[in-house]
Amino acid sequence: MSVSDSHTTAQLLKDIRDGDLGARGRLIARIEPLLRNFAHGRVPQMLRHQQDTADMMQVTWLKVLDKLPRIQVQERGAFFAYLRQVLVNALRDALRAQARTPDIVADDGENALQSVVSAENISAQDWLAYEQALHKLPAEFRHAVVMRFEFGMTFVEMGLELNQSPDSVRMRVSRALVLMAEMLE
């Protein structure tokens, strides 16, 4: 992703609020590959006959696009955390909807959770521990972890988004990982 300082996510959101009609398209073009990277492989096996990654992305964008003019990011990187949460909520909604479908046998919560994380080849217990540690991090560290590991952004891309040098971003991610490791011990 190549981006100039004037086209960070925060600036594009401001431009949308200010009525710039092209800003929405630029934001989508900027975020779409990152969201696709994050969403890929996260659709649980039990839903793949009904939905795929593109469906989950469409649901996510539909929920986000209407709210774009009202979204105010207080911290750099917060929009990525917001997108992540919208997509995770869409997955949860799809799992709940499938569990209510009468001709499909509903799994218990542990098996449903395992199916969500199986694409990532981690246990449900490890995934829950990761989620809990992630939510305990200070926002600046949490956003950095989400941008780096869940959206697959490079340190250069993150630096542009966060208005910091790539080395500074690398250190922030390293510190976040140390904090998470301490929480997981």
Closest listed residue to residue 116, CA positions, set 59, 39, 58: 39
- In tens, the pLDDT along 133-142 reads 998 999 999 9
Q: How far apart are CA 80 and CA 83, in angstroms?
A: 5
What mean pLDDT comes out for the span 34-44? 76
The per-residue pLDDT for 156 is: 94
Q: What is the largest CA-CA distance in the chain?
A: 54
What mean pLDDT comes out for the span 1-9? 58
What mean pLDDT comes out for the span 55-68? 85
Does residue 172 carry a pLDDT above 90? Answer: yes
Does residue 101 carry a pLDDT above 60? Answer: no
Residue-wise over 153-172: b if at least 16 C-beta within 10 A, else e? bebebbbbbbebeeeebbeb
- In tens, the pLDDT along 13-29 reads 999 999 998 998 999 99
3-state helix, strand, coil in the chain (%, to 5): 75, 0, 25
Residue 26 · residue 16 · CB < 8 Å: no
What mean pLDDT comes out for the span 85-112? 62
Q: Quick one: pLDDT band at residue 122, thresholds 50, 70, 90?
A: low
The per-residue pLDDT for 136 is: 93
Does residue 90 carry a pLDDT above 50? Answer: yes
What mean pLDDT comes out for the span 105-122? 44
Amino acid at site 119? A
Residue 146 backbone phi and psi in degrees, to 5: -60, -45
Residue-wise over 79-96: b if at least 16 C-beta within 10 A, else e? bbbbbbebbbebbeebbe
Mean pLDDT of the chain: 79
Share of the chain above pLDDT 70, in %: 75
Q: How far apart are CA 142 and CA 130, in angstroms?
A: 11
